[in-house]
Each structure stands twice: as C-alpha cells, then as structure tokens.
Amino acid sequence: MKHQRNKLLELSTWVVQKNVFIKTLLSNLIKSWKVTTTSKRAKVLKAHTDYFFSRLIKITGQYEENDAKRECIRFIKENIDWEETGKKVLNTLLPKYKEAWNQSSFVADYKMWYRAWDWAPKIMLKLL
C-alpha cells in the first residue's frame, strides 16, 4: 500500500543514483569513522548502516566460521567497496560489534550548526 511507506527515508533521486549515493556515504563513514551531512540524508544513512551491521552479525551467527567469513565478504562487496573499507569492516568493526552483542545503534548522530549557503541543518554521524 502506498500510504504506509516511510517518506522520511526517501531521497529525491532515482533508484540507481540512490543506491550508489548510499554506498558512497557508507564507505566514507566507515573509512573516516564520521561523516557530516544533512538531516534527511543522515536518517537514510543511519537506517542503512544499522541494517548493514546487524545483517553482518546475523550472518556470522548463522554459519560456521569459514562459511560465515565467505558470506560476510560477499555481503560487504555488494554494499561497499572492498579494497579499503571492506577489510576494515571484516577485521576491526565486525569483531568489535560481535563482542559487544550489539543488534542496533551502531551510529551516533550529533546536531551541528546550519550550512552557510542554504541554512540546511547539518548532522554529524559517528560510528560507535
């Protein structure tokens, strides 16, 4: 039903551009541990980041060690670039989150001042 979709999680781009944009934002967030963006983009990125890490933790719980690593690599390659950020996720972030038994809230958001040219509210997202 059309009336039950969440309009807050929509960006004003096409589907292909939206997917590429979210992948780029997620890669930048993982690479630099924080990213500053507008409020609407921050909501979308936070939801996608929570889904990404909770899915990885679920994959590691479902399979044995070798199969879980293979499936995690496949899932990471689908969602972010593998060369820089994928290895960082697999080697540092995933064991840390798995140890802490987190199922959600992998990102903290902080409200910042407004952008200078259009006064859009800025939000800084940080990985926990």
Which pLDDT score, from 0 to 100, does residue 28 have?
A: 92
Task: Give the pLDDT score at 125.
Answer: 93
Boundaries of every domain in the chain: 13-112+120-127
Its CATH architecture, for the domain 13-112+120-127, is Alpha-Beta Complex (3.90)
Q: Write down the pLDDT at residue 120.
A: 85
DSSP-based three-state secondary structure for 79: helix
- Given this model, what pLDDT does residue 3 score? 62
What DSSP line would sit under 6-59, residue for residue? -GGG--SS-HHHHHHHHHHHHHHHHHHSEEEEEHHHHHHHHHHHHHHHHHHHHH
With a CB cutoff of 8 Å and minimum separation 6, the contacts of 69 are: 90
Which of the residues in the chain have pLDDT under 50?
Answer: none
